[in-house]
Structure 1
Amino acid sequence: MATLIIAEHNNVSLSPDTLKVVNAAMALSPSVSVLVAGARCRAVADEVGKVTGVAEVLLADNAVYEHQLAESLSALIAEVAQRYTHILAPATTFGKNLLPRVAALLDVGQLSDVIQIKNADTVIRPIYAGNALAAVKSNDPIKVITIRCAAFEPAQEQDTQVASVSELDIVVANDMTQFVSKQAVESERPELAVARVVVSGGRGLGNSESFALVEKLADKLGGAIGASRAAVDAGFVSNDLQVGQTGKIVAPELYIAVGISGAIQHLAGMKDSKVIVAINSDPDAPIFQIADYGLVGDLFELLPELIDSL
C-alpha cells in the first residue's frame, strides 16, 4: 500500500492538522508520502521532512499553486495519484474543497470525516450528527479520504530532516478560476481548531456586547473563542467561530460552554473534548448530559466571579 497525504499550509508553515493526518495514516503504512504544493514553499517541505512516519516529500513549487486553488491542485493530484492506493487530507475547509474534486477526476467515491482507519478498505466515520458510528468499506482501487483531525493526536516532529524531497515539474494550467483576494481573521488568540482551551458562547448571552465576557474568560485561560450556531445567526460573532456539525469540529483539553443549551448539531462539534464545563440557567439543558462539570445559574453573575477568581 502507498499513501499520499496532501499537506495544508500557508506557504510558510505547516498546518497542525496535517500532522494529525500523518498519524492517522500510520494505520495504513509505517511510512507515507506527502505532497506540498504552493509557491516559494521549500521551507514547508523541509518541515514535513522532519515528521515521524514521512518517507518522501513531493514538492510542487510553482506560482500556479501559490493560493492552492482546488481546480489546480486537484488536477495535479490526479496526475500523480496512480502511484498510490490511498489519498488523504484533513477534513478542514481546505480538504473538503479539494478532495471531492480529486475523487471525481479519479472516478472513485470519497470516505469523509473518518475518525478511525480499520484496514486498507474499511474506515469508521460518524453519522447522524455523531450519534452513531458507521463502518464503511470501499472497493475502489484508490481510496480518497478526509480525516476528522479532532480524533487524532499529531505526529511527532524530529530535530533533523529524514525524508527526501523530490521536486515535481508538473504544472497544470487553470483557466476556470483566478485568485482575487483573501480575507483572513487575525487574532492573538490560538486558532480554534488547535487550541488547548475553548470558551464558547451561545444565545443565552443575549447580544454581541455580552460576548465580551466570553472573550475575557478565554483570555484569562489563554484559550480560543467559539460560538454556537444560534449565536452566529444572531450576529454576536462571525461564522468562522462556529463550533458544531456545520462549523468547526474541536476536541480541546478544556471546553467551556456559556449560555449554550446543547443542540445536537453543536454537541457533534465538541463532545470529544477532554473536559466539558457547562454554564446555563436551565438545569434541564441537554448540554449538562455530556458535561463533566456544570454550573446552574445566571451567567451574568457566574462569569464575572469566575473571571475574577482566575
Structure 2
Amino acid sequence: MGKCVCMIAEFRGGNFRRVSFEVASEGKRIADALGIGLRGVAVGSGVAGKAAELGQYGVERVLVRDDPALEHYLAEIYVPVVAEMIKKCDPAVVILPASVDGRDLGARLGARLDITLVQDVTQVVCEGGKVKARWPIFGGKCFAWSEWADGTLPIMSCRPNVMDCLPPDTSKRAEVELADIPIPESRSRVKAVDMDSSGKVELSEADIIVSGGRGMKEASNFALVEELAKAMGAAVGASRAAVDAGWRPHSDQVGQTGKVVTPALYVAVGISGAIQHLAGMGYSRYIVAINKDPEAPIFSRADYGIVEDLFKFVPAFTEEVKRLKSTCS
C-alpha cells in the first residue's frame, strides 16, 4: 500500500472551487479508514499562497506547482505535470473532482499512469483495507459498485455536491511543498476567457436550482424562472429542449449532455422529464415538479408535484416565497 491518499484540488480564478473541499473531506475519511495520511496536489497560477487552506479539511501536506502557464486548464500541460506530482506522493488512492475539467483530467491520468478510473463516484466504502466505489450506470438508472484488484492503484472522481464537506477547522494549515517539475510546451494556448460576470451561482455547486423547460414556450418567459430563482437564492437551469430552442445558453443545460447536478432542492418548471434530463438531476435531495400534464415523467421522480399551469402558479409561488422570507428576516 502507498503512503497516503492523494487528493487533486481544482484551483480557478484565484481560489479553490468548493468541490475541492468536498474531495478533501472524502479523502480524509478514506485516509482515516485506511490508517494513512492525506496529501494534496494543487496546480495553478497563484495557488501557492492559497494551498495551506486545504489543511482546514484534513490535508496534511500539499504538493504545489505554481506557474502563470497553469492559469487555465490545458490537458497538454496539466496531465504530465499532475502525473509526476502523483508519483512523488506515492499514493494508495487518488481522488479528484468529477467537474468538467476533472473528468477530462482523470481519464487522461488513468491512461498515462495505466491505472483504472471510476468516474462520477457518489459513495466510497473502505472494508478490510480495500476501497469500493459506487457510481451511476445506464444514464443513472442504476448503480454499480467497483473494487480494485490487489496491486492496483484506485483513482476516482467524485460527483460535485454529493460528498459531505467537513466543517472547516480554521486553526489548521497544510504544509506546503513546492514541486520543481518542468512545464511542457503546448501546441495550444488560451487567448481569452469569456467569463460570466453576472455573479450567478455555478450550477454544479448550487444548493438550489430552478430549471425551465419546453413548457416555458419562449425565451422571454424565463423571466418567471429567474425571478423565482432570485427569491429562493437559487441558480437557473434549463432542459435540453429549452437550450436547443435558443432560449438559454448551453452553460445552463442540465442533463446527460449538459451538467449533472445534485442540489439539495431542484425545482423543475415546465419540464416533462426526458430520461436524459432525469439522468442529470434525478439524484437531487428533493425534487419539486410544476407541470400541467399529470402524466409527465418528471412526476415519477418528484418528491412534490404540482399539476397546474405554470404561468398561474409560478408568479403566485414567487410572491409567497418573498413574503415568507420577509417575515423570517
Q: Normalized against structure 2, the TM-score is what?
A: 0.88
Pick from 277, 296, 299 the counterpart of residue 266 of structure 1: 277
Aligned twin of 1:13:
15
Between 1:149-158 and 1:88-97, the stretch displaced more is 149-158
Question: Is the CA contact (8 Å cut-off) linking 2:48 and 2:65 kept in structure 1?
Answer: no
Question: Is the CA contact (8 Å cut-off) linking 1:89 and 1:99 kept in structure 2?
Answer: yes
The separation in 1 between residues aligned to 2:206 and 2:186, in whole angstroms, is 38
CA positional deviation for 1:11: 4.7
The separation in 1 between residues aligned to 2:207 and 2:46, in whole angstroms, is 31
Pick from 104, 113, 120 the counterpart of residue 106 of structure 1: 113
Question: Is the CA contact (8 Å cut-off) linking 1:189 and 1:222 kept in structure 2?
Answer: no
CA positional deviation for 1:291: 1.3
Pick from 96, 110, 127 the counterpart of residue 137 of structure 2: 127
Aligned twin of 1:142:
153
Q: How does 1:20-31 map to 2 (within 5 A)?
A: 20-30=22-32, 31=37
Secondary structure of 2:60 counterpart: strand
The separation in 2 between residues aligned to 1:105 and 1:274, in whole angstroms, is 36
CA positional deviation for 1:126: 0.7
Pick from 187, 190, 211 the counterpart of residue 200 of structure 1: 211
Structure 2 spans left out of the alignment, 5+ residues: 322-329
Question: Is the CA contact (8 Å cut-off) linking 2:54 and 2:173 kept in structure 1?
Answer: no
- Equivalent AA in structure 1 for residue 124 of structure 2: I
Q: Are 1:81 and 2:86 an aligned pair?
A: yes
Question: Is the CA contact (8 Å cut-off) linking 1:207 and 1:236 kept in structure 2?
Answer: yes
Aligned twin of 1:70:
75
The separation in 1 between residues aligned to 2:68 and 2:306, in whole angstroms, is 53
Q: 1:175 to 1:162 in 2, by over 3 A?
A: closer
Q: Normalized against structure 1, the TM-score is what?
A: 0.94
Pick from 231, 236, 259 the counterpart of residue 248 of structure 1: 259
Between 1:231-240 and 1:152-161, the stretch displaced more is 152-161
Secondary structure of 2:106 counterpart: helix
The separation in 2 between residues aligned to 1:121 and 1:295, in whole angstroms, is 42
Question: Is the CA contact (8 Å cut-off) linking 1:283 and 1:296 kept in structure 2?
Answer: yes
CA positional deviation for 1:15: 0.4
The separation in 1 between residues aligned to 2:294 and 2:48, in whole angstroms, is 54
Q: Sequence identity, in percent?
A: 37
Aligned twin of 2:53:
47
CA positional deviation for 1:34: 1.0
Q: Are 1:94 and 2:101 an aligned pair?
A: yes
CA positional deviation for 1:183: 1.5
Secondary structure of 1:232 counterpart: helix
Cα deviation per residue 1:89-138 (whole Å; 9 max; x = unaligned)?
11111101212111111122221111122234431111011111111223
Secondary structure of 1:23 counterpart: helix
- Equivalent AA in structure 1 for residue 110 of structure 2: A
Aligned twin of 2:38:
32
CA positional deviation for 1:27: 4.2
The separation in 2 between residues aligned to 1:166 and 1:113, in whole angstroms, is 29
Between 1:118-127 and 1:237-246, the stretch displaced more is 118-127
Q: How does 1:128-277 map to 2 (within 5 A)?
A: 128-139=138-149, 141-277=152-288
The separation in 2 between residues aligned to 1:292 and 1:157, in whole angstroms, is 31
Aligned twin of 1:289:
300
Equivalent pairs counted in the alignment come to 309
Secondary structure of 2:243 counterpart: helix
Question: Is the CA contact (8 Å cut-off) linking 1:33 and 1:55 kept in structure 2?
Answer: yes
CA positional deviation for 1:253: 2.2
Secondary structure of 1:29 counterpart: helix
The separation in 2 between residues aligned to 1:39 and 1:32, in whole angstroms, is 23
Runs of 4+ in 1 over 3 A off after TM superposition: none
RMSD, aligned CA: 1.7
The separation in 1 between residues aligned to 2:77 and 2:15, in whole angstroms, is 21
Secondary structure of 1:97 counterpart: helix
